[in-house]
């Protein structure tokens, strides 16, 4: 049995992380850019031709997107404080997916090359899922597979419930029991927001909050935009809504991922869901793990795009 933190430590972390669930997606970037080690910069994408890219207007917010390869599309949605390139290109996912799918990715609002509103209302409820639907409409994509990690999985979960007619299958990675809460996906993260906005990072007392601030600064983010996301509110996703899902769903986490809550109850609430846990990985290390890629590719290959 693996060692676990003390009960007091776990409860303290869970209280904060319950309201900042998908912010943990930002920690994924640490594994990619070497923030906690002396590793080199992320490897460049190996695609030989530059992918088509562009920007479209989503209710007044410019959203940047990129498209790789041809064929049946899969839309990728990244984690908090990173972007499409860091989450999906540098980790090797684009190279892994392009032999079997056309890869379509966006920088979520507040991130990367997309617009960065500073008002929490700009991120509330279905604003970010609507950006995904807007991108599909902009590109003339009627239906696609969908794959989100951490914050992106929270966005994808809302799309699964609210827009099932636009997708053939959905992969939810780095997601757990906190995903269905009223604040899942952003709201209530005042501690993280305060850390992101602090004039002097040395004044941040919470080690976890300071870690988010350090990472956000290292990646050159607009911290006011990220704070606005953390202060946004999200509607609750009910078991009743999840029980009506008919699309194929894969819920996949690192077996040692204790940042987002256990995925078991969420997967059990979705009648069509498969649950996979990647051995020896946590929220940081799952994204680029070969076993994670093999699990997702197998799931996609077992389903004919429709």
Does residue 56 register a pLDDT over 90? Answer: yes
* DSSP structure string for 220-234: T--HHHHHHHHT---
Does residue 124 register a pLDDT over 50? Answer: yes
Average pLDDT over residues 263-279: 97
pLDDT, the chain, mean: 84
For the chain, which domains are there? 61-187+232-301 (3.40.50.1820)
Does residue 287 register a pLDDT over 60? Answer: yes
Quick: pLDDT tens for 232-252.
988 889 999 999 999 999 999
* DSSP structure string for 114-174: S----SGGGGSTTHHHHHHHHHHHHHT---EEEEEETHHHHHHHHHHHH-GGGEEEEEEES
């Amino acid at each position: 049995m693996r060692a676990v933190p003390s009960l007091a430590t776990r409860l303290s972390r869970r209280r904060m992380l319950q309201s900042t669930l998908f912010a943990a997606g930002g920690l994924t970037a640490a594994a990619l850019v070497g923030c906690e080690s002396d590793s080199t910069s992320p490897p460049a994408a190996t695609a030989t031709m530059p992918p088509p890219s562009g920007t479209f207007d989503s209710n007044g917010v410019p959203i940047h997107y990129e498209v790789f390869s041809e064929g049946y599309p899969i839309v990728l949605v990244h984690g908090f404080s990173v972007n499409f390139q860091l989450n999906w290109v540098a980790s090797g996912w684009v190279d892994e997916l392009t032999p079997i799918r056309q890869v379509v990715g966006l920088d979520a609002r507040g991130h990367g090359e997309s617009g960065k509103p500073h008002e929490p209302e700009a991120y509330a409820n279905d604003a970010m899922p609507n950006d995904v639907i807007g991108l599909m409409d902009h590109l003339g994509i009627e239906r696609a597979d969908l794959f989100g990690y951490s914050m992106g999985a929270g966005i994808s979960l809302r799309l699964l419930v609210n827009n099932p007619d636009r997708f053939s299958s959905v992969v939810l990675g780095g997601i757990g029991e906190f995903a269905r809460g009223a604040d899942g996906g952003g709201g209530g993260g005042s501690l993280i927001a305060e850390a992101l906005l602090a004039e002097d990072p040395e004044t941040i007392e919470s080690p976890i909050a300071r870690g988010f601030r350090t990472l956000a600064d290292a990646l050159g983010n607009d911290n006011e935009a990220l704070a606005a996301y953390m202060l946004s509110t999200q509607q609750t996703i009910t078991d009743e809504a999840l029980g009506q899902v008919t699309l194929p769903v894969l819920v996949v986490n690192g077996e040692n991922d204790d940042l987002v809550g256990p995925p078991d109850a969420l997967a059990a609430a979705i009648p069509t869901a498969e649950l996979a846990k990647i051995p020896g990985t946590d929220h940081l290390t799952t994204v680029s793990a070969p076993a994670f890629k093999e699990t997702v590719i197998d799931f996609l290959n077992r389903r004919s795009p429709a």
